[in-house]
Structure 1
Amino acid sequence: MPPPDPAPVQSTLPESAARFGAHVLAEASARAFDLAAATGGPPRVPSLPGPSAEVAPPAAAPAPPVAETPPDLARLLGGPRGLGTAGLRLTALTEPLPKTAAEPLSEPPAEPAGRPIPGLYFHPVPEPDPVRVAEISRRIKSWALEEVDLYPDDWEDEFDGFSVAGYMVGCHPDAPTVDHLMLATRLMVAENAVDDCYCEDHGGSPEGLGERLLLAHTALDPLHTTKEYEPEWAQSLHADAPRRAYRSAMEYFAGAASPSQADRLRHDMARLHLGYLAEAAWAQEDRVPEVWEYLAMRQFNNFRPCPTITDTVGGYELPADLHAQPAMQRVIALAGNATTIVNDLYSYTKELASPGTHLNLPVVLAARENLSERDAYLKAIEVHNDLMHTFESEAAALAVACPAPSVQRFLRGVAAWVDGNHRWHMTNTYRYTLPDFW
């Protein structure tokens, strides 16, 4: 019997919006996020004013009598209710962290280093503010060396070459302070320490990976155990650099985030670790997965934890009910998938030059679809472009369907992260060079 067709992706948001009167839809469109302004390209929906701007009513004929907002969408836009929810923070951090960086410079941005992959769909973005980059560079190195003892002296060039400060400043242009940016920067460095030390370059191995990841995950999601055994667990969090980095980065993050935002990150980090384990299983079996299997793994082993914290880094909160909507989850997943294929493409020659077999989309396409290296690479570009176009169209539809200000800003932040991620890969010539396929 042939397998049934997969069920279509469902979302309650467009269905709810469809029940609105024409005047309500017009207002939603007037307030909707201009995706082109964030990404530099189509699709286009009407612009969203800045946080302090008044929303002007659309110029139109007198509106018909106002219809009552459907209960399901009113519930979503209003956030959680019930006993114990009155104190939940659902819109913005009420007391922003103190500002510690100078305002962005007014000079025009310099041309970025590196060159983009020919045929890759992306949006150029300005050079990250050099004042913030310099301050983040200083702080993250101090944290790595003095707080968590992250790396030995002979790894310093690689740490500097990662250029994490420019990466995070470019991905979070709406972060109100350097303190907010440091939340993302510590987590990015900690995640890479786990990847390098447990999985890849610096002693990583598929052997025993599950145990290492589980114990490291308890630095993010604490162990709740008896008084007799808790001290041993607490001591284990200092056992190696990845666990020290995870513990410290999560402590800073949880201190600035709401409980819902912190739990959302823990969930996405568990997804990441699950993806690591799938790739490790293929390495142990010496098997190249099918293309769809590889893409499934990459939906978990990807950058998703980074854009998912864009509201915390921006100093506000996307309410949990809105974040959990299927349409929002699809947008976040598409963003994570597209940005991860960017990594596959820019790191292609670096991985080919490393010992052993490194799975990436071009390698899997070449093996499973009997393509030359060049044709496989070019097809991987097409896969990325398809993901990007789908991400943008789905984000635009969600912006119109759900005009809540926190949704608009979150979508803008995710789009900015996607573009900043590409810029970092393109300009990081210390790590990446392009193959000679053109």
Structure 2
Amino acid sequence: MRDAPRSTPPVPGDGGAALGLLGVVPGLLGSLPGGAADPSHPLVRLLSGPTGLGTSSLRSLHGRTPGATAPGGDRPPCVPTGSPRGDPAASGHCGTVGSSKARIPELYCPDALRDDPALGDAVDDRLVRWWGEEIDPDASPDQLGRMRDAGFGRLMMLCHPDSDDVDRLAAAGMCAVAEWAVDDLYQDGDEAEPEPEKLGPRLALAYGAMSPARLPPPPYLSQYEEVLRGDRVLRAIRSSWTNLARYGTSVQVFRLRHELAIMFVAYNQEAQWQITRRMPPVWEFLLHRWENAFCPCMVLTDVVGGYEVPPHEYFDPRVRRVVATAGVCSVLVNDIHSLDKEERINELDYSMPRVLMAEDGCSLQEAVDRTADFHDELMRYVEAESAALAAAGTPLLGRFLAGLWAWMGGGKTWHASSKRYHPDPVS
């Protein structure tokens, strides 16, 4: 049980030093527990950038001057404007989930660094128009309305506070929508009847859509193109990857393709569970979560930010471990907030709380609390290891790791507020 007081990580505040993400969030770490920013705290060192003789010229790589105006804008792009610390919805306690009304506990996770509804709406407008005009012209108003209510554009706005660029945010959002479409339309969503026995071939075609094969001339190439044109998921993947290449380097696009290939392996694993009606043991599901997590979305952090982590740093095993762990932290948040949604549409829900309940016979509340404990332990690892890696790496790596931290805060805020998971006001 979670009866001990919960400590909290650095969160946006309205006082203290201007040590925010990329140097543009005044007071990001100014409201640490106890008041003023603690310069010895790992995240203060991580987010404040390089220091010492000869590093002043590097700060232009790490971020803008505190309070600087974004190009083409008239305000600092990442000043937090959302709920203050202490608001239950902001801090992570967000009502109840499941038929037994389990309480969602506060999580060890930052809040979103900004909440700019107008920017989120602009990105959502772009995504809904893209889906309705290019991907699925036959989509009904209700389907497009559900997509807007989910707020994938808002997710991008919350998770990438170092960018006000609607085009870049929409590029990442298109990839995210395509990735969610694989889950919703192929796996276990509410838009189609799941057919797990067909998932393997579908995922093979999905990978081909984001890594086009050089098929021989007609009839083979034309046959493949006909299949691709007739499938919303494949159209969304090809379109979003083509658009992403306008903003990301070939290495960055490859990273995303690699992360999704890993996720597709995990989707096939879950399909086997569905076919055999088997609930996996906790240890197996925890391994599954290392493959089926939020890494594909998070890996675009530097693409949206307009820079690139050097490949030798991104693919360093310690950095990869932090990226993977951050993805697991965020998907455990999803496991908690999606309980109502999954309960409505799936007879078998493969989530951390449900697997714990099946193995240990505990209540939903106990399972939710234990899932939160797993999340918090992993978050503290990400926090400490990111600080160590940022201290030893380039300013670009430090910026990327700070971006992951911001992504987790934005993801938490979105999960607590998206109508995809909470169609009714939370209790």
Q: If the TM-score is normalised by the length of the shorter chain, which range does it land in? A: 0.7 to 0.9
Are 1:345 and 1:377, in contact at CA under 8 Å, matched by a contact in 2? Answer: yes
Residues in 2 aligned to 1:320 and 1:351: alpha-carbon distance in whole angstroms: 37
Which amino acid counterpart does residue 405 of structure 1 have in structure 2? P
Corresponding residue number in structure 2 for 1:215: 205
* Uncovered stretches (5+) of structure 2, i.e. residues with no partner: 1-20, 33-40, 55-60, 64-69, 95-103
Partners of 1:261 and 1:296 in 2: CA distance:
25
Q: Is it true that 1:372 corresponds to 2:363 in the alignment?
A: yes
Which 10-residue stretch deviates more, 225-234 or 414-423? 225-234
**Shift of residue 131 of structure 1?**
2.9
User: In the aligned structure 1, how far is the partner of 2:354 from the partner of 2:209?
Assistant: 34
Q: Which amino acid aligns with 2:274?
A: A
Deviation at 1:37? 4.8
Change (3 A) 1:431 1:234: same
Greater RCO structure (CA 8 Å; 6+ sep): 1
The secondary structure found in structure 2 opposite 1:218 is helix
Letter of the 1:406 partner, please give it: L
Aligned residue in 2 for 1:146: 133
TM normalised by structure 2 equals 0.78
Question: What's the counterpart of residue 163 of structure 1?
Answer: 151
Give how far 1:371 is off: 1.7
Match of 1:65 in 2: none
1:299 is aligned, of 290, 309, 320, to: 290
Distance (Å, rounded) in 2 between the aligned partners of 1:106 and 1:226: 49
Larger Rg: 1
1:110 deviates by 4.1
Report the counterpart of residue 249 of structure 2 in structure 1: 258
Change (3 A) 1:177 1:341: same
Aligned residues: 367
Query: Partner residue of 2:342?
Result: 351
CA distance in 2, matches of 1:184, 1:308: 10
In structure 1, the gaps of 5 or more residues are: 1-31, 59-89, 93-97
Structure 2: how far apart are the matches of 1:162 and 1:319? Answer: 34
2:260 pairs with 1:273: no
Q: Tell me the equivalent position of 1:427.
A: 417
Q: Spell out, residue by residue over 1:209-237, the C-alpha distance to the aligned partner (whole angstroms, 9 max, x if none).
A: 00111112111011122223222223322
Letter matched to residue 169 of structure 2: L
| 3-state secondary structure, aligned to 1:192 | helix
Counterpart CA distance in 2 for 1:162 and 1:285 is 31
What is residue 162 of structure 2 aligned with on the other side? 174
Change (3 A) 1:141 1:393: same
Residues 388/433 of structure 1: CA separation in 2 closer, same or farther (3 Å cut): farther
1:300-315 matches, cutoff 5 A: 300-315=291-306
1:324-360 residue CA offsets vs partner (Å, 9 max, x unmatched): 1001100100100000000001111222233411111
2:282 and 2:359 in contact (8 A); partners too = yes
Q: SS of 2:300's equivalent?
A: helix
Are residue 46 (structure 1) and residue 45 (structure 2) matched? yes
Distance 1:355 1:225, change over 3 A: closer
CA distance in 1, matches of 2:362, 2:105: 19
CA gap of 1:338–1:298, structure 2 versus 1, over 3 A, is same
Please give the residue correspondences for 1:35-184 in structure 2 after superposition, counting only pairs within 5 Å.
37=28, 42-44=41-43, 46=45, 56-57=52-53, 103=75, 109-111=81-83, 114=89, 115-116=93-94, 117-149=104-136, 151-184=139-172
Structure 1 residue 241: Cα displacement: 0.9
Q: Is 2:281 aligned against 1:290? A: yes
> How far has the Cα of 1:433 moved from its partner?
7.7
Is 1:199 aligned with 2:216? no
- Give the C-alpha shift of residue 91 in structure 1: 11
8 Å CA contact retained: 2:110, 2:408: no
What letter matches 1:131 in structure 2? A
CA separation of 1:39 and 1:133: change in aligned 2, threshold 3 A: farther
Structure 1 residue aligned with 2:101: none
Separation of aligned partners in 2, 1:163 and 1:315: 23
| SS, match of residue 256 in structure 1 | coil
Amino acid at match of 1:202: E
Residue deviations 1:167-224, cap 9 Å, x none? Answer: 1100001125111111111011111111111012222321210011111211101112
Normalising by structure 1, what TM-score? 0.76
| Aligned partner of residue 208 in structure 1, secondary structure | helix
**2:191 maps to amino acid:** H
Quote the Cα distance in structure 2 between the aligned partners of 1:184 and 1:121: 26
Give the distance between the partners of 1:409 and 1:361, measured in 2 at CA: 31
Asked whether the 8 Å contact 2:313–2:319 carries over to 1, the reply is yes
**What is aligned with 2:173?**
185
- Calculate the aligned-residue CA RMSD, in Å: 3.3
- Structure 2 equivalent of residue 396 of structure 1: 387
Structure 2 Cα separation of the partners of residues 40 and 331 of structure 1: 25
Distance apart, 1:118 and its partner CA: 2.1
The DSSP-based 3-state class of the residue aligned with 1:46 is helix
| Percent of matched pairs sharing the same residue | 34
Counterpart of 2:121 in structure 1: which amino acid?
Answer: A
Which residue of the partner structure matches residue 231 of structure 1?
Answer: 222
* 1:46–1:171 Cα change, 3 Å: same
Aligned-partner residue type, residue 407 of structure 2: W
